[in-house]
Structure 1
Amino acid sequence: MEPGQVVLIVLVVVLGVLALLVISGVRIVTQTKKYVVERLGAYHTTWGVGIHWLFPFVDRVVSVVSLKEQVKDFDPQAVITKDNVTMQIDTIVFYQVTDPKLYAYGVENPILAIEALSATTLRNILGDLELDTSLTSRDIINTKMRHILDDATDKWGIKVNRVEVKNIMPPKDIRDSMEKQMRAERERRQTILIAEGEKRAKILEAEGINESIILKAQADKQQVILNAEAQAESIRQLKEAEALGIKLIKEAAPDAAVLQIKAYEALAKLAEGQATKIVVPSNLADLAGTVTALTEVVQSGKEPTKK
């Protein structure tokens, strides 16, 4: 092999190695990632979205950090309440990396640090609460834990967005007692509702009876009023008819013969009555003038004084 060929081969190999080094140093950073880069063992820069080149043997990527919000479900922790009740509580932490440099250099294991901090914070908070209060104060516990964790993780480049208490598990005997208490409370509420329903039904029934009596009394009153008005109207019409009859008689101006006939008719009716005595005038022509007096005698049953 000629020396020129050897030199050419060596040159090709060197160029190939250099090309491989250049290609191997290319890094493409996506939208939700951040690359923390060191140069000669010291922090150099943080790469964002785009194409970057890593200088071989000098630069190295220390950490690839995700900017997405992440969720960590921690294992249940044994917690003692203020009234000395031990229970198991597990929490869920929603966090997001805001500073990749602090996240890479702030703490050795950020997730483990958050878990330990969450456990100690939870024990401190529930140590000041009694069992009944802790079971009904999830929002208070969540808010206090979020503030404490957020303040503590700022120097690690982490933002704690939310903390949720997932499960609170008291001891079995306490759960049994709570279940019995809830059952008794439900039975008590059921009894109260039944009693209130019966009371309301009786009130409605009494109100119905009272309203019925009032309506009946009003109907009776209205009926009496209508009867009285009808009777008054009947009497008025009768009197009007009598007055009209008298008026018509006066207007007709009957002669003596008609009056005698009417007197005879009146005597016939008196004879059919219950009177024991009948006064007959000596002059039948004056009979029409005494019809009224005879009628009063018949009705009263008394004998008039004869003139």
Structure 2
Amino acid sequence: MSVILKARHGAGADWIDRAPQAGGIERIEAFFHHNAYDLHRHDTYAIGRTLAGVQSFHYRRSLRNSVPGTTMVLHPDEAHDGHAGTDEGFRYRMVYIEPALFQQALGGKALPFVEGGMSHDPRLFAATEGLLQAIDCALDPLEQDDAIFELAMALDAVAGSEPQPGKRSADYHAAERARQYIHDALDQPVTLDVLAMASGRDKWSLSRDFRLLFGTSPHRYLTMRRLDLVRRLATEGRPLADASAAAGFADQSHMTRHFTKTWGISPSRWLNMLKLAANTGAVSGQSSGFSAR
């Protein structure tokens, strides 16, 4: 891996490597010289480490500076950007985890929130070790499940979550039925009324519970799953216009607006960076870690 990184740095280009997506998580390693991402937000937890340099980002109205040894924990639907804090650029690894996976471990508790987006707590650093290993190291399914459970427990402990007396509990099973319905209907019109019928919950209670349990609204969750499908189809070689239509977007421009707003980077630039990482790995005679999501 170090040989590949050295070759890429010498080429003077930003790059992104992606591990094979599996089981509701996405793992990346990337290097940026200057600006990485514009202000954006996504519906997953973004948890990672800076491996080299200074990784600066705006988060909850403050500028944060991540250096090696720090664990970054960005909550779903919290706006943030990313840029190099020094002229040397920065390299980092990140894992994106669906809140639903944490819910399976937390049993319907409110999602943990780590204040400030960064932590020096050794419990979090240890709990992320398995998920943030080198991108070219595949995760065994049981290893991944264990790591997610340990991370959920560490997040809950570090966040200091406490039960709130008198607060009505959310209906996890109804919200989960609605979430599964969304996955099965990406290319179809989906309304809150339809989700309410599928879940057996009134629509306003469902909307509130969905946000509490999965960190985002039903509509935004649907949009994100459609964007996930676009990324998978695009990395398989489908034109962006075709991928947009297959994922249920009105047209390519509609998809592009959501893509850029979500990840702070246009879909065409994202694809070019993936291709650069893959081509550089091929030249080096080693695996790049690039694969379809």
Q: What TM-score results when the alignment is normalised by the length of structure 2?
A: 0.20
In terms of fraction of residues, the more helix-rich structure is 1
Q: What TM-score results when the alignment is normalised by the length of structure 1?
A: 0.20
- Higher Cα Rg: structure 1 or 2? 1
Higher RCO structure (Cα 8 Å, ≥6 apart): 2
